[in-house]
Amino acid sequence: MNVHREQLEWPQAPAEPPVSPAEALSAVTAAAASGGNGAARPRVKLPRIRLHGVAIHAITEKQTIDFILDSLDNGRGGVVVTPNLDHLRRSRRDLAFGALLAEANLVVADGMPLVWASRLQGTPLPQRVAGSDLISTLSAGAAVRGKSIFLLGGQAGTAVTAARVLKDRHPSLNIAGTHYPPPGFESVPDEIALIIEKLQKSRPDVVYVALGSPKQERLIEQLRSTLPQAWWLGVGVSFSFLTGDVRRAPMWMRRRGLEWVHRLSQEPRRLFKRYLLVGLPFAGQLLASAAAQRLTSRFTGVQEPPEETAHYAPTTRAPLAPPKAAAPAPIVQFSAANGNGLSRLRGLVLLAGSVRPTPLRTGIGRSVLDLPIDPGRTVFSHWLSEATEVARSLGMEKLPVRVLLPHGSPEPRLIPPHLAASYAIERDLSEYRGTGGILANLAGDYEDDDLILVANAAQIFVSSLPQVARDLGQTGGVVSLVSHQDGTPSGLMLLSGKALRLIPRQGFVDMKEQALPAIAAVNEVRVLHTRRPTGLPVRTLSDYVSALRQVHLRQATRPALEEETLWPRMDGMDVDEMTAEDWRPSFNIAESGAQVAATARVHDSVVLAGGVVEAGAVVVRCIVCDGGIVRRDRRSVDEIVGKAPSQNGHNGHRGINGHSANGNGANGNGGAKVKQ
């Protein structure tokens, strides 16, 4: 295999010393003078590397500050996480915590062992970016750019004192507020409501959360939707550093990666196990793994290219030139922001169904859109709620939702009363038109400049639809697509009425293979790349279960698996080998009208209304449908359990998409067996 080394070599960035507040102040002042306040900035790319499966941005502290302040100028919020050695170790053992790291908008390395490992791996990080430094330097930049901050957490009184210290250093800094929640607040709804009330009333631009990890990351995940345009940063013990209650290590120790020694000397009882018994061995493993990866890349001649994520360039950077009129307009990645771009948004179109019945739809006997995500929320009601949020964000009374169903597909029925008037069902009576053909039929309903959001409805949308819609609106193409970095299809696009009129009206028209090339021949089709999937498909039983696992793991607040005594050994397996994804349940849902015995075990499964799980039964990664019965002491694994023909005077179950695991064959459960 021929490898072009010049295309794959990682750009060598010189290591930089930690930036001081004065340096940050100078840099941000210069940025503000060049048009930093409120100017829309084109997007460029930030490089990332991977260490121990965690993506980390390879940027300096100055670049981190610029990223956050530029995003605020453009009306965008986000989350910064600063993983250290312990975070990397925990991310593999606690899937919920790993998901929090993966979903952060900006991930920078707070720990010299990570920097050393990156250099051994051949993908060097330019420097350590510590959260305890950012609270000072970012606040300095916020003072210059007119941004406000909020201090949440810390020890009693430290938030107020730390705010006073920052205000003394930067008199122009706007302190939006402080709050110290009492111990155990996370399990008291009134305390969470009080935090939300204070944040929404003060509306800060930057929120520092000082609760220690992983509590602070979990609280940020819980609260971030209340202030989507703010930036959130977990800062650990940093409030106490600012107040002087806890002395920070001297600069020479920090630069040599010895800050942990200083911290250990201050709190030996609390940190002895974490640093010496767990941290040091893991550091050795990380460094050895990084070195081995470097050697492997040298022998094979192949090195992973850096990943990239979006950032805003200075306003002096020219946007990409538009294509010449005589040449076909290419499908390009979006490069410039053009306002919110959604002033003419006219509706959300949900493509809900397929020409041929799928095993999932046939097995459940209802619309896939009526599948529950959690009690009280279905795939369809979640779409309607997201459409309501889009309307609210744009100041509209409502956003019309059009649900396009093929002939013969069941309609969604489980609609909450408050959402019942917010959509319309429309049938496509022609067969085999393709997605492009179906959309072409809508052209007469819209003007050229009108915009519609089009989405594949058979997915659980896990991003913020208002935010994604704004991002698409800023691209400026007649068609704007979402593309996931992992290669999975997004099923979401923004189309203009003009684009609809460019789609052929006759015959079968596939949107991807036929319609988009036809549109791109005369107009711009733009692509918005996202680092993580915006939605999780629900096409098969496996898709549905996997999507629910991810949704519920993101919502999980269970602690990391730290002690072997918390979980028993099973079948001779070591605790480290029993990953949460393989054996720990993440959800179980029983609709109203389902019957599940108290002694039944339902693991990552859904029991629909009318489904029955008898005493002692075990149900794993299944859907139990109306009329489906899992008999006493039997097991069902990876199947759709539906109503079966009567045998010997009683109903059993039939399985689709999988196999019965009862050990007695299908008839042992008293039902018929249907396999794909």
**Two tokens at 251?**
């600069």
Question: What pLDDT score was predicted for residue 300?
Answer: 56
Residue 231 three-state SS: strand
Half-sphere exposure of 248 (CA within 13 A, CB side): 18
Q: What does the longest C-alpha to C-alpha distance in the chain come to?
A: 84
**Two tokens at 146?**
């007119």
- Nearest CA to 26 out of 173, 137, 134 is that of 137
Cβ atoms 619, 601 nearer than 8 A: yes
Question: What pLDDT score was predicted for residue 590?
Answer: 93
Q: What's at 92, amino acid-wise?
A: R
Taking the CB of residue 290, how many other CB atoms lie within 10 A of it?
A: 22
In the DSSP assignment, the letter for residue 19 is P
Q: What's at 299, amino acid-wise?
A: F
Question: What pLDDT score was predicted for residue 659?
Answer: 39
**For residues 82 and 56, what is the distance between their CA atoms, to the nearest angstrom?**
9
Question: What pLDDT score was predicted for residue 140?
Answer: 95
- Nearest CA to 131 out of 196, 206, 74 is that of 206
**For residues 161 and 145, what is the distance between their CA atoms, to the nearest angstrom?**
23
CA angle 158, 210, 110 (to 5 degrees): 125
**Two tokens at 664?**
């007695």
Superfamily of domain 331-537: Spore Coat Polysaccharide Biosynthesis Protein SpsA; Chain A (3.90.550.10)
Question: What pLDDT score was predicted for residue 51?
Answer: 87
What does 37-104 look like in DSSP terms, one character per residue?
SS----EEEEEEEEETTEEEE---HHHHHHHHHHHHHTT--EEEE---HHHHHHHHH-HHHHHHHHH-
Q: What is the CA radius of gyration of the chain?
A: 27
Dump strand ranges (E) for 515-598: 525-530, 535-537, 588-590, 595-596
CA angle 12, 30, 308 (to 5 degrees): 35
Taking the CB of residue 212, how many other CB atoms lie within 10 A of it?
A: 14
**For residues 535 and 350, what is the distance between their CA atoms, to the nearest angstrom?**
14
Helix, strand and coil content of the chain, in percent to the nearest 5, comes to: 40, 20, 40
Burial of residue 383 (number of CB atoms within 10 Å: 0-12, 13-18, 19+) = buried
Question: What pLDDT score was predicted for residue 38?
Answer: 41
- Nearest CA to 215 out of 184, 239, 188, 243 is that of 184
Beta bridge partners of 175: 149
Task: Assign residue 627 a region (left: φ > 0; alpha: ψ between -120 and 50; beta: otherwise).
Answer: left
Q: Is the dihedral of CA 488, 491, 496, 500 positive or negative?
A: positive
**For residues 22 and 37, what is the distance between their CA atoms, to the nearest angstrom?**
20
- Nearest CA to 608 out of 574, 655, 640 is that of 640
* Cis omega (within 30 of 0) for bond into 214: yes
Question: What pLDDT score was predicted for residue 665?
Answer: 34
Taking the CB of residue 659, how many other CB atoms lie within 10 A of it?
A: 13
**For residues 564 and 562, what is the distance between their CA atoms, to the nearest angstrom?**
7
How many residues in the chain? 676
The parts of the chain modelled with pLDDT lower than 70 are: 1-45, 95-96, 279, 296-340, 353-356, 420-421, 429-432, 485-489, 556-585, 644-676
Residues 6 or more apart in contact with residue 272 via CB below 8 angstroms: 264
**Two tokens at 446?**
């819209």
Q: List the strands of the sheet with 148-153, edge to edge.
A: 106-107, 78-81, 231-234, 206-210, 148-153, 174-179
What does 480-503 look like in DSSP terms, one character per residue?
EEEEETTS-EEEEEEEEHHHHHTS
pTM of the model: 0.49
Cβ atoms 630, 649 nearer than 8 A: no
Residues 6 or more apart in contact with residue 228 via CB below 8 angstroms: 77, 464, 466, 467
Question: What pLDDT score was predicted for residue 306?
Answer: 52
Within its chain, how far is the Cα of 214 from the centroid?
Answer: 17
Question: What pLDDT score was predicted for residue 586?
Answer: 77
**For residues 165 and 161, what is the distance between their CA atoms, to the nearest angstrom?**
6
- Nearest CA to 605 out of 648, 541, 666 is that of 541
Question: What pLDDT score was predicted for residue 336?
Answer: 31
Burial of residue 300 (number of CB atoms within 10 Å: 0-12, 13-18, 19+) = exposed
Residue 546 three-state SS: helix
Based on DSSP, count helices (H) and strands (E) in the chain, helices before strands. Answer: 23, 33
Q: Is the dihedral of CA 656, 661, 662, 668 positive or negative?
A: positive
Beta bridge partners of 426: 404
Residue 650 three-state SS: strand
Cβ atoms 660, 669 nearer than 8 A: yes
**For residues 497 and 448, what is the distance between their CA atoms, to the nearest angstrom?**
4
Residues 6 or more apart in contact with residue 454 via CB below 8 angstroms: 348, 349, 351, 439, 492, 493, 494, 495
**Two tokens at 541?**
């039983």
